[in-house]
Chains A and B, each alone.
Chain A
Amino acid sequence: MTATTTSARSDLSELGRSETALRTFLHGLPGVDQVGAEQRAAQLGTRSIKTSAKAQAIDLAIRMVDLTTLEGADTPGKVRALAAKALRPDPADPSCPHVGAVCVYPLMVPHVAEVLRGSGVHLASVATSFPAGQAPLEIKLADVRAAVAAGADEIDMVINRGAFLAGRYSEVYDEIVATKEASGDAHLKVILETGELATYDNVRRASWLAMLAGGDFIKTSTGKVPVAATLPVTLVMLEAVRDFRAATGRQVGVKPAGGIKTTKDAIKYLVMVNETVGPDWLDPDWFRFGASSLLNDLLMQRTKLTTGVYAGPDYFTLD
């Protein structure tokens, strides 16, 4: 397996100043061994996690869920119901923890904020003309400011894939820096949309670019393109945050999003986090799942562990 070595680089913060320096650095990152990454991810997926370890993993995964609804048909009533579910995912069991955050469109933020106030559940909003990111910068920044003003304390931005794939790294970098500034105190999650980046090398470069520009989290996908989060892509991103901390001392979180639907999938990710970056990241502050249907499966598995009987979807809310 390849690891990124950056020991020789002393001051990474200077990189953003010139297109050439940024390109030289990003293209100087070692290539990803595609077969190795896929095999490693598949191998880690075979671990068997049972009984009390499984119970702990499920509770941790619930705390890591960014309960998401990003539909054109979202209404204030629907997002309020979702926020209520975030606070108390399983109303029948008070020992069930609340989720990490609720993730909605900026217009829905005020409605969710009312419900979540003071609960400890974060409120994330996608911004920067999600999901395509193909809008002028001023409009994207206005989008971010509106979301923060409405009460979002986490911003999920999309990078400009058009610029990234065309090799205009400075443009992407500057946009992330500007978005970070517009977000103020809100945590910035940078969506790489790995399904559109074509190669693992690009995923590694985009991860580093996002971290160099100041992103607090790197997130795989919008959930709006056919290929969303996969284990190998997340592995490459986890390696990037590990190497970034080794090089700079700053810890960055990771959020796989889209396509994670079952408890088994979620536990595979947790195993990979533990084996790749260690327990420092096994915390909702550093690892999140962007998901909606995952939560119900986690709750059903949790109920199975407490009652000994397989649960059915009839007994959990539809969302």
Chain B
Amino acid sequence: MSERVAVRKTYKLFVGGKFPRSESGRSYLVQDSNVSLASRKDARDAVVAARAAVKGWAGATAYNRGQILYRVAEMLEGRREQFVALGVPGDEVDAATDRWVWYAGWSDKLPQVYGGANPVAGPYFNLSAPEPTGVVAVVAPEAPALLGLVSVIAPAIVTGNTVVVAASPAAPLAAVTLAEVLATSDLPGGVVNILTGRLSETVPTLAAHMDVNAVDLTGVTDPELAADLEVKAAENLKRVLRPVPPDHDWSADPGLRRMTALLETKTVWHPKGV
């Protein structure tokens, strides 16, 4: 018997529910593994996939979205060892799973907390309801690799947005492994898309893209790049979440802001009649 040859994994992109290589064919080495180096065309394709998924995901009931996100947490729990093998501390995997469950629970509660009836001086019911803004481009923080990633993806999608995530160039393995979790969790293809590679290639494209509705610059560490991205995002009035300070405590209670920042408020006036 000859000795078995191990099957080595190439870490690919996650676009539209599939795992394509970069259209550029490039890759780079991280922890001795090949990781796809996404190009701006991959970013464009990811936006197309994310846009196509908006209707179904935003149109799903909040209850259904919550169930699917809870399912993600189940799968995340089952892959604990795999993340640990990549160097993510066990405690962090647990915290990320708990964070995911916490956000999953908000799916059908946020509209009650953040929307509701407005008292108006007239014979009308006046109701405000939050709606997803659409496609969100997210720059994931470098550390903590998994908890940081979960903390930026979950709040964006729980309300019905779809995301294109630029994973941290230094920590892409946890991101692609999370993509494998998402791909096996009944999450519709295109709701989360993950690009690995240089931020300087993909993120300016996403920030300038006219079919992206918001950018979350959390993982951007260079203040000049952040300013440039904000300028690009201004062209079509994208919502912008600014970078977090380097000493940000990711294990603290995240609050509602990451969810509410990516919402639009719809207000309806309805005559009271007899």
A interface vs B, CB < 8 Å? 308-315
The CA-CA distance from A308 to B205 in the complex, in Å, is 9
B residues with CB within 8 A of A? 44, 47, 51, 205, 208-212, 232, 235-236
Question: What residue of chain B has the Cβ atom nearest to residue A308's Cβ?
Answer: B208
- 15 examples of A-B residue contacts, CB within 8 angstroms: A309-B209, A309-B232, A309-B235, A310-B44, A310-B47, A310-B205, A310-B208, A310-B209, A310-B210, A311-B211, A312-B209, A312-B210, A312-B211, A312-B212, A315-B210
| Cβ contact within 8 Å between B211 and A314 | yes
Query: In the bound complex, what is the Cα–Cα distance between A309 and B210 (angstroms)?
Result: 7
Instruction: Specify which chain A residues have a CB less than 8 angstroms from the CB of B208 in the assembled complex.
Output: 308-310
**A-chain residues with CB within 8 Å of residue B235 when the two chains form the complex:** 309
**Further pairs besides A310-B208, A312-B212: 11, Cβ < 8 Å:** A308-B208, A309-B208, A309-B209, A309-B232, A310-B44, A310-B47, A310-B210, A312-B209, A312-B210, A314-B210, A315-B210
Closest to B209 in A: A310
Q: Decide if the interface of chain A is mainly helix, strand, loop or mixed.
A: loop
Give Cα distance in the complex from A313 to B52, angstroms. 12
Complex Cα spacing A309 to B232, Å: 9
Whole-angstrom CA separation of A311 from B236 in the bound complex: 10
B209 touches A313 (CB 8 A): no
| B47, B51, B210, most chain A CB atoms within 10 A | B210
List chain A residues, Cβ under 8 A from B236. Answer: 312
- Chain A, Cβ-Cβ closest to B205: A310
Chain B contacts for A311, CB-based, 8 A: 210-211
Please give the distance in Å from A305's CB to the nearest CB on chain B: 13
Note all chain B residues with C-beta closer than 8 A to A309: 208-210, 232, 235
The interface residues of chain B lying within 8 Å CB-to-CB of A313 are: 211
In the complex, which residue of chain A has the Cβ closest to the Cβ of B41?
A310
Residue of A312, A314, A315 with highest tally of chain B CB at under 10 A: A312
Instruction: Give the residue name and chain of the B residue nearest to A303 (CB).
Output: B210
> How far apart are the CA atoms of A94 and B209 in the complex, in Å?
23
A45 and B41 CA atoms in complex are apart in Å by 18
Q: Measured between alpha carbons, how far is A14 from B119 in the docked complex, in Å?
A: 85
In Å, the complex CA distance between A314 and B47 comes to: 14
B212 — which chain A residues lie within 8 A by C-beta?
312
Q: Complex formed: what's the CA distance from A195 to B121 in Å? A: 63
Inter-chain CA distance A309–B231, complex, in Å, is 13
Chain B nearest CB: distance from A300 CB in Å?
A: 9
